[in-house]
Amino acid sequence: MLAMRGIVKSYGAVRANRGIDLDVPAGAIVGLLGENGSGKTTLMNVLYGLVRPDAGSATFRGRPLPLGSPRAALAAGIGMIHQHFMLVPAMSVTENVMLGWRAAGSWLRAAAIAERIVQASRAYGLELDPGAVVGMLPLGLQQRVEILKAVLRGADLLILDEPTSSLSPPEVTALLAVLRRLRDEGRSVIFISHKLGEVLEVCDEVVVLRDGEVAGRRAVAGASREDLARLMVGRDLPPPVERASRAPGAEILVVADLHACDAAGVERLRGVSFSVRAGEIFAIAGVDGNGQAELAEVVGGVAPPTRGSVFVDGAEIVGGVATRLAAGVAHVPADRASVGLVRDMTIADNVVLRDVDRPPFCRRGWLDRDAAREAARRGIEAFDIRAEGVDVPVRTLSGGNQQKVILARELGRGPRVLLAVQPTRGLDPGATRFVIDRVRALRDGGAAILYVSTELEEILGVADRLAVMHAGRLVGVMRPADADLTRLGLMMAGALEEPPDAAALYGVLA
Amino acid sequence: MSVETALVELLAAAVRIATPLFFAALGGILSERAGVFAVGLEGMMLAGAFGGVLAGHLAGSAAAGLAASVAAGVLLALLVAVATVRFGADQMVTGLAVNILAVGLTSFLLRGFAARGEAATLRVPVLAAWPVPGLAEVPVLGVVLFRQPPLTYAAVVFGVLIAVFLARTRAGLTLRAVGENPAAAFAVGVEPARVRLAAVLACGALAGLGGAVLSLQQVGTFTDAMTNGRGYIALAAIIVGRWLPGGTLLGCLLFGAADALQLRVQSLRLPVSSYVIQMTPYVVALVVLAGLGRSARLPAALGTPFRRE
């Protein structure tokens, strides 16, 4: 159905695609597997026309496909669901679906289109309210809007870029079912991922990219996890570090009956209490948008609680970010691109951002740039940040290296408490391992760590004690050894609740 | 003169004064909802006022004057569009530059028509009021709304058309999407640059008509810098009206009423400097913006150039 030949694309000195061939048969789900920076997204942006290739060509259904124009790709029957959704947050679901769609009519037939959205969403099991404002929907529902947009336009080839990165296990299952259904209707799907399990579960064949080239192509039927992982990484991954359990340390971070609202005034945190002890990683699992972000913001002092208190080392912390810093709270926020970093400033500037008002980086109101550079140099070395020096803007770094800059800044302070929200989101396995190792090292040094993630496997691997958050409350607390995926999945979906007792909440689980 | 008559006259004057503001603000809505700041409204209005008088004077017809007003506004808008959309120049600075250019250029050209560098006096007949048969006789409302000159009715028609265009047509949806998230529009096959170009040019045409209201409908001649900040007041009206034609109309009427009141207070010969009284509409603009402007939600991509990778 689709044949791409010799795709080359460079961004400055970075060669994202170095002559890639890709074939997609009709009625097949093809997995595009690779680490971050292996060229998957670039290749798909070329196919969809968002990015003009330096060289290469494509044919779709036997006809040459002009590359470099989304209009041509759409007209040919190609739809793309981007990792960062291409939706207009201020508009309704219906308006987003109608945008740029001829069939919506010159005079918009909003009511008719809304009806089609309802029908199609039922047919695919993707419940959606056509009148809802997209920006107010959780990410899982926003993704449904993207899928419906493509399906209603009659796309024969759907490209999904990292579609599961912000979904809960039940949502992932639902998505995979939709993809199978689309395949059974004779459509083709390109499924971009770096998660082996999902690729093996849903795809018919897998193409592995590494460093902008095709590292291998396998039929899923005969492929093994180990084989694919080796192709993807180009080396064998070391086994994860295990650690003997220890007696619980002193209570460092205590959160008592915390309530908070989001910017729209909706209550997102509805009475959360727990403590995190010294040398402990307390991990919070849950689907995006169940209050984890608000919890981290309130504990980190970015947003005020409407009720409840936060204590560090027994002292109540009142006030904004500055008081948290003074108490030794470090914060790795979920949104590194816009909250965690100033992307247009250099690595050195970003590394000292929190401490820029005190020695050694600032003396009598004058900045000491050499001290900042020195600190950044140490960070680059300690955190293995791949960069051409400390004076390059952070935006030129890859996602993994940007995350390492935040870690260098936050962990470099020797914090008592670390709030790590989705610290590995979008990172490849190597970078993920690195980040988790650093968090563990901090824990072993006696810090209390609140770790929020939507990745269950990661939670199970990293947590000393874990909780599931649903609709602004902790609906279960357990040791990783007592957890299984079904139980956690049910809790995350709000189908199971095991109100935790004080022992569980305050960290003396048997 | 009874209080009632005075009030009716005040309201009628408010409608008259609001007309050029509303034309310009409608243009500004199109431009800003497509993501381009309409700072250049003032200059486009001034160009329209000048073009209208010039062509009206030379050709001796109001139609020619109106056409020239539109053309002059579009010409300046083209400058804005090329600089900001094609070359990604800063929208604020470009708009301000166009405003300054318009003042200089119209003054210069006006002097080009007289000997020895004096400003020429170009006279054109003022567009007469068109009482709407029947409705004009209705007490109060008839005087306020239905004994107005033609461009005032036209402004209302344009307001309705643009409101419908934005809310009910695919092109309007596309325009709004480009102002909110051009990348999303691009991903569904829209060329954001073309949409913005068209929106800015339409803005120029409407602002030009706003200028024509001043010179052809109200004054009958052109004087240097005669727009006198009305383009900026129109910008304020857009914010007050939340980028919606209906709300913006209310904003324009508010400023129109403040201005009409100010003119009447001046004639009372109070022991206050007339300059202080003339400030009223601008003070009203500041106060209203400080009160309402805070909760206004800008089109998300306003002021952000779109560049594909």
Structure tokens of B166?
Answer: 């934005």
User: Rounded mean pLDDT of A244-251?
Assistant: 72
pLDDT bin (cut points 50, 70, 90) of residue A392 is: confident
Helix (H, G, I), strand (E, B) or coil at A274: strand
Residues A39 and A134 in one domain: yes
User: Rounded mean pLDDT of A150-159?
Assistant: 93
Count helices and strands (H / E) in chain B.
Answer: 13, 0
Helix (H, G, I), strand (E, B) or coil at B214: helix
**Nearest-CB residue to B188 (from A45, A51, A100):** A100
Is the model more confident about A129 or about A289? Answer: A129
CA nearest B170 in A: which residue? A106
The answer to whether the CB of A332 falls within 8 A of the CB of A272 is no
User: Rounded mean pLDDT of A504-509?
Assistant: 72
A483: in domain = yes
A468: in domain = yes
- The pLDDT value given to residue A56: 94
pLDDT at residue A495 above 80?
Answer: no
pLDDT bin (cut points 50, 70, 90) of residue B293 is: low
Residues A94 and A195 in one domain: yes
- A251-261 vs A267-277, strand pairing mode: antiparallel
The answer to whether the CB of B176 falls within 8 A of the CB of B29 is no
Helix, strand, coil percentages (3-state) for chain A, rounded to 5, are 35, 25, 35
Count of all residues that appear for chain A in the document: 510
Q: Where is A475: in which H helix or E strand?
A: strand A473-478
Mutate to test the interface with B, among A48, A88, A95 (most CBs of B within 10 A): A88
On chain A, the residues whose CB falls within 8 A of the CB of B296 are none
ipTM: 0.89
CATH code of the domain containing A282: 3.40.50.300
Q: Where is A329: in which H helix or E strand?
A: strand A329-332
Q: Show Cβ contacts of residue A327 under 8 Å, excluding neighbours closer than 6 positions.
A: A312, A313, A315, A317, A416, A417
CB contact under 8 A, B308 and A71: no
On chain A, the residues whose CB falls within 8 A of the CB of B183 are 86
Nearest CA to CA, how far is A53 from chain B (Å)? 10
pLDDT bin (cut points 50, 70, 90) of residue A359 is: confident
- The pLDDT value given to residue A237: 46
Q: Establish if A106 touches chain B: CB-CB under 8 angstroms.
A: yes
> Which has the minimum average pLDDT: A256-270, A495-509, B170-184?
A495-509
Residues A350 and A428 in one domain: no
User: Rounded mean pLDDT of A133-154?
Assistant: 89
A239: in domain = no
- A280-285 vs A465-470, strand pairing mode: parallel
- The pLDDT value given to residue B21: 97
**Nearest-CB residue to B189 (from A90, A100, A108):** A100
Mean pLDDT, chain A, rounded, equals 86
The parent domain of residue A257 ranges over: 252-328+415-505
User: Rounded mean pLDDT of B128-156?
Assistant: 89
Structure tokens of A338?
Answer: 């816009």
Q: What percent of chain A has pLDDT over 90?
A: 38
**Nearest-CB residue to A70 (from B169, B180, B189):** B189
CB contact under 8 A, B184 and A149: no
Amino acid at site A468:
V
Residues A300 and A154 in one domain: no
Residues A108 and A140 in one domain: yes
pLDDT at residue A240 above 60?
Answer: no
Residues A10 and A123 in one domain: yes
Q: What's the rounded Cα separation, in Å, for the pair B146 and A472?
A: 58
On chain B, the residues whose CB falls within 8 A of the CB of A71 are 189
- Among A233, A263, A280, identify where a domain stops: A233
pLDDT bin (cut points 50, 70, 90) of residue B155 is: very high
Segment 63-82 of chain A within 8 Å of chain B by CB: 69-71, 74-75, 80, 82
Fold of B3-295: ABC transporter involved in vitamin B12 uptake, BtuC (1.10.3470)
- The pLDDT value given to residue B225: 92
The answer to whether the CB of A258 falls within 8 A of the CB of A269 is yes
pLDDT bin (cut points 50, 70, 90) of residue B164 is: very high
User: Rounded mean pLDDT of A450-473?
Assistant: 87
Is the model more confident about A482 or about A165? Answer: A482
> Which has the minimum average pLDDT: A78-82, A348-352, A441-445, A488-492?
A488-492
The answer to whether the CB of A89 falls within 8 A of the CB of B299 is no
Mean pLDDT, chain B, rounded, equals 91
The three-state DSSP-derived secondary structure of A332-351 is ECCCHHHHHCCCCCEHHHHH
Residues A266 and A149 in one domain: no
pLDDT at residue A486 above 80?
Answer: no
A246: in domain = no
A410: in domain = no
Residues A34 and A175 in one domain: yes
- The pLDDT value given to residue A13: 66
Helix (H, G, I), strand (E, B) or coil at A311: strand
CA nearest A69 in B: which residue? B189
Residues A181 and A318 in one domain: no
Chain B residues bordering chain A (beta-carbon distance below 8 Å): 168-171, 173-174, 176-177, 180-181, 183-190, 297, 300, 308-309
pLDDT at residue A238 above 50?
Answer: no
pLDDT at residue A333 above 90?
Answer: no
pLDDT at residue B214 above 50?
Answer: yes
- The pLDDT value given to residue B114: 66
Residues A443 and A368 in one domain: no
**DSSP of B121-132:** --B-PPPPP-PP
The most confident of the ranges A347-356, A385-394, B201-210 is B201-210
CB contact under 8 A, A100 and B297: no
> How many CA atoms lie within 13 Å of A309's alpha carbon, on the beta-carbon side?
8
Is the model more confident about B269 or about A12? Answer: B269
User: Rounded mean pLDDT of A361-385?
Assistant: 84
pLDDT in tens, A160-188: 998 887 677 778 888 999 999 999 999 99
Residues A303 and A429 in one domain: yes
The answer to whether the CB of B78 falls within 8 A of the CB of B247 is no
CB contact under 8 A, B169 and A108: yes
- The pLDDT value given to residue A236: 52
Q: Show Cβ contacts of residue A300 under 8 Å, excluding neighbours closer than 6 positions.
A: A321, A324, A329, A331, A333, A419
Helix (H, G, I), strand (E, B) or coil at A48: helix
**DSSP of A146-180:** HHHHHHHTT-SEEEEESTTTT--HHHHHHHHHHHH
- The pLDDT value given to residue A388: 79
Is the model more confident about A411 or about A507? Answer: A411
Q: Show Cβ contacts of residue B211 under 8 Å, excluding neighbours closer than 6 positions.
A: B20, B24, B44, B45, B46, B47, B48, B49, B50, B51, B52, B69, B72, B73, B227
pLDDT at residue A509 above 70?
Answer: no
Is the model more confident about A348 or about A110? Answer: A110
Structure tokens of A368?
Answer: 């000491």
Q: What's the rounded Cα separation, in Å, for the pair B266 and A41?
A: 67
Q: Which residues pair with A363 in a beta bridge?
A: A366
**DSSP of A398-466:** -HHHHHHHHHHHHHTT--SEEEEESTTTT--HHHHHHHHHHHHHHHHTT-EEEEE-S-HHHHHHH-SEE
**DSSP of A171-236:** HHHHHHHHHHHHHHTT-EEEEEES-HHHHHHH-SEEEEEETTEEEEEEEGGG--HHHHHHHHHSSP
Q: What percent of chain A has pLDDT over 70?
A: 95
Cα A122 to its chain centre, rounded Å, is 28
The secondary structure of residue A388, as a DSSP letter, is S
Q: What's the rounded Cα separation, in Å, for the pair B186 and B191?
A: 6
The secondary structure of residue A27, as a DSSP letter, is T
| Total of domains in chain A | 3
Residues A102 and A120 in one domain: yes
CB contact under 8 A, A100 and B168: no
Angle between helices B3-33 and B192-212 (to 10 degrees): 160
Is the model more confident about A177 or about B308? Answer: A177
pLDDT in tens, A412-425: 878 999 999 988 87
On chain B, the residues whose CB falls within 8 A of the CB of A48 are 187
- The pLDDT value given to residue B222: 93
How many other C-beta atoms are found inside a 10 Å radius of the C-beta of residue B283? 12
pLDDT in tens, A43-76: 999 999 999 999 999 999 999 999 989 999 999 9
pLDDT at residue A493 above 50?
Answer: yes
- The pLDDT value given to residue A295: 92
pLDDT bin (cut points 50, 70, 90) of residue A259 is: very high
Phi, psi of A495 (to 5 degrees): -95, -5
What are the residue boundaries of the structural domains of chain B, listed by start? 3-295
- The pLDDT value given to residue A49: 92
pLDDT at residue B118 above 70?
Answer: no
Q: What's the rounded Cα separation, in Å, for the pair A185 and B243?
A: 44
Is the model more confident about A35 or about A403? Answer: A403
Nearest CA to CA, how far is B128 from chain A (Å)? 36
User: Rounded mean pLDDT of A260-276?
Assistant: 85
User: To which residue do tokens 């951002």 refer?
Assistant: A353
pLDDT bin (cut points 50, 70, 90) of residue B309 is: low
User: To which residue do tokens 């970015």 refer?
Assistant: A302
CB contact under 8 A, A108 and B171: no
